[in-house]
Amino acid sequence: MKKIGLIALVGLIILAVAAIALPGNSKMDASGVVKLPAPRTDGGISVEKALSERRSIRSFKNESLTIDEISQLLWAAQGVTDDKGHRTSPSAMASYPLEIYLLAGNITGLPAGVYHYSPEGHNVSTVALGDKIPELFGTSMNGKADWRASAPAIFIVTGVFERVNKVPGQDLSRFVHVEAGTASENLLLEVVSLGLGATYTAGFDANKTRECLGLVSGQDPIAVIPVGRK
């Protein structure tokens, strides 16, 4: 018991120190929550232009993204758009089974780390500090260099299956995968609108990803979307 208390205390101290000391990190509170800048809900390019310009981009400049861009991308994927809690993506039975994580490598205004997005608060909470992108994507599953390691940010769409599996005798797990597609496409179109590059990927080491994000049983990573400047 004493050991757990000590670990929690050390964790809080690390976050508090991070809140004060890390560059460009003025918005992280002592519990590791970072309020994101308000997303823009107008402007950008037309949907038609975004659709016609979208392409998978697998090579990124060695440049940072901004916290405003991260805010916009997370909002596009799952942001809340009315006072009833509806979101940018449709959801089966309004069950909202998706949880989005961010691996921040090189983002101005956000320390490198693993973050979980809360649509309700439009904020991210810290899962772990430190750049996990090289750890998770340093080598691909066939042992070769993985191009995703050069991305300054990687979004990971996960699903919690019990949120849709509420009809006795029916396995509705497919709903979660369908939703991951709609949320991811929103993010990909926002990437184009912001003039950035990304690729929708589903080839990744699920066990390593689960471990990195600290996922519990019943929650699976579905899609990995590296984003950077092209």
CA-based nearest residue to 148, from 132, 136, 135, 137: 137
Let me know: does 186 contact 218? Beta carbons within 8 Å: no
Contacts of 73 (CB under 8 A, 6+ apart): 155, 187, 190, 191, 194, 227
Q: Per rule CB under 6 A, is residue 60 in the interface with ligand FMN? A: no
**Site residues for ligand FMN, window 8-37 (CB under 6 A)?**
none
Stretch that binds ligand FMN, among 106-114, 122-130, 201-209, 214-222 (CB under 6 A): 201-209
Q: Per rule CB under 6 A, is residue 101 in the interface with ligand FMN? A: no
- For ligand FMN, the closer of residues 26 and 56 by Cβ is 56
Q: Per rule CB under 6 A, is residue 178 in the interface with ligand FMN? A: no
Least distance in angstroms from the C-beta of 79 to ligand FMN: 22
Q: How many Å apart are CA 121 and CA 63, to the nearest integer?
A: 28
- For ligand FMN, the closer of residues 38 and 141 by Cβ is 141
Q: Applying CB under 6 A, which of residues 201, 213, 215, 226 lies at the interface with ligand FMN?
A: 201
Q: Per rule CB under 6 A, is residue 55 in the interface with ligand FMN? A: yes
- For ligand FMN, the closer of residues 201 and 219 by Cβ is 201
Q: Per rule CB under 6 A, is residue 199 in the interface with ligand FMN? A: yes
Strands 65-66 and 107-108: parallel
The helix (H) or strand (E) run that includes residue 223 is strand 219-228
Contacts of 47 (CB under 8 A, 6+ apart): 189
Q: How many Å apart are CA 99 and CA 127, to the nearest integer?
A: 13
Least distance in angstroms from the C-beta of 178 to ligand FMN: 12
Q: Using CB under 6 A as the criterion, which residues of the chain lie in contact with ligand FMN when the complex forms?
A: 55-56, 58, 199-203
